[in-house]
Amino acid sequence: MSTPAPPLDIVWDMETGDPDDFLTLLLLLGHPRVNLLGVTVTPGTPDQVGVVRRALAWFERTIPVGAFNLDHAVRAPGDGRHGPRGACVSSWHYNAYGPMPASRDAAPGPELLRELCGPKTTLVTGAALKNLGGALSLGGFSLGRLVVQGGFAGEGVVPRERQLEKFKGLTTCPTYNLNGDPKSALAAIASPAIGHKRFVSKNVCHGVVYDEELHAQVGALKDRSLSLELIWRGMDRYLGKSDGKKLHDPLAACCAIEPSIGEWAEVLPGARPMGLAARAGVGRPHHRRLRPREVHRDADGDRMTGSAAADPLRSPGDPARRPRASLS
């Protein structure tokens, strides 16, 4: 009988503007193959830290929390789609899970990443890469594997017959997380302090949706796991106002836990002269001196669901012949 693999040491870097990141936190906290070392938040308001602290309390976990900027200034939050919002926290969080008191119990995010990360650690990011960029600037930072939700794998990376209709023929497309801090994104891609770099692309995430069918599957299993019970509770609220939710960050986390749920391609990242936010088809791509990286170009939704309860495929050939993927 084979010995089970030890849990993966994972750090989760998140924001709280929509349900995705919080659902991912719940998934990671209860996953039997994950040893969650800590959580960092962007931008890191006390309301955001309070949301994370509330989730940790449900699981009776005392892992450290980091914030990029506890004093991040925001306008009065007002009301959102699901009711009152917090500072950089969506109304869905409070509507689904009740009061979550604000907290300033957080270390500086970049410093916490430098402390927690190492050659055997995986950092999964679902936010702008501000904490990671800050950690890289401190010196002494090292990381075994980076899994980013963001980037775009389009024409030349994903076969035409497997492209989603809305992205068909595109080679670049803006994505939220990498555009949140383009300088940190480029610094992370170029950094030799990070061993393996993988990007779960926007177009792949748009093909995996939490809908009523998946909700029923989770509902049938929710009594077996606190994670699944809490995910089900949150999505039960969400589906009352929507037909479904594209699973960006949960898919990235599942790809970190079990890379074989999808297909990967080795690519040379490309950025536009105007920055990562350039529109598709505008300007000539400017390719920096970057080493090949792996981008997630297709996902098996059924296997992704199983992962929530082999080595990636690579494009052959020398670097000059590898397809290019957009960082935007």
Domains and CATH numbers, the chain: 8-326 (3.90.245.10)
Buried b (16+ CB within 10 A) or exposed e, 234-265: bbebbbeeeeebbbbbbbbbbbbbbbebbbbb
DSSP 82-135: TEE-BTTB-HHHHHHH---------EEHHHHHHHH--TT-EEEE-S-THHHHHH
Report the C-alpha gap between 228 and 51 in whole angstroms: 18
Residue 72 has pLDDT above 70, yes or no: yes
| Percent of residues, the chain, with pLDDT higher than 70 | 80
Span 46-60, average pLDDT: 98
Which tokens in the block code for residue 166?
């809305």
CA 7 → CA 109, 115, 164, 297, distances in Å? Answer: 24, 19, 34, 26
The pLDDT of residue 292 is 41
Report the C-alpha gap between 16 and 37 in whole angstroms: 19
Top-confidence residue, 277 or 152: 152
Report the C-alpha gap between 109 and 65 in whole angstroms: 8
Between the ranges 17-31, 70-84, 200-214, 293-307, where is the mean pLDDT highest? 17-31
Confidence of residue 295 (pLDDT cuts 50, 70, 90): low
pLDDT tens-digit map of 177-194: 998 999 999 999 999 999
Residue 322 has pLDDT above 90, yes or no: no
Closest CA to 174 of 272, 68, 287: 272
Backbone torsion region of residue 263, taken as left when φ is above 0, otherwise alpha when ψ lies between -120 and 50, otherwise beta? beta
pTM recorded for the entire structure = 0.84
The answer to whether the beta carbons of residues 122 and 142 sit under 8 Å apart is no
The answer to whether the beta carbons of residues 162 and 298 sit under 8 Å apart is yes
| Percent of residues, the chain, with pLDDT higher than 90 | 60
Span 77-104, average pLDDT: 87
Q: What are phi and psi for residue 125, nearest 5 degrees?
A: -120, 135
Task: Return the beta strands (E) in the chain as ranges.
Answer: 8-14, 34-41, 65-67, 79-80, 83-84, 107-108, 122-125, 143-149, 194-200, 209-210, 245-246, 262-270, 293-299, 324-326
pLDDT tens-digit map of 145-166: 999 999 888 777 887 888 878 7
Span 112-128, average pLDDT: 98
Span 58-73, average pLDDT: 97
Which tokens in the block code for residue 24?
């991912």
The pLDDT of residue 257 is 96
| DSSP bridge partners of 36 | 10
Q: What are phi and psi for residue 263, nearest 5 degrees?
A: -110, 140
The answer to whether the beta carbons of residues 263 and 313 sit under 8 Å apart is yes
Top-confidence residue, 108 or 179: 108
Confidence of residue 266 (pLDDT cuts 50, 70, 90): confident
The pLDDT of residue 305 is 47
pLDDT tens-digit map of 229-254: 999 999 999 998 888 999 999 999 99
Confidence of residue 290 (pLDDT cuts 50, 70, 90): very low
* Residue with the two structure tokens 């916490």: 112
The answer to whether the beta carbons of residues 65 and 39 sit under 8 Å apart is yes
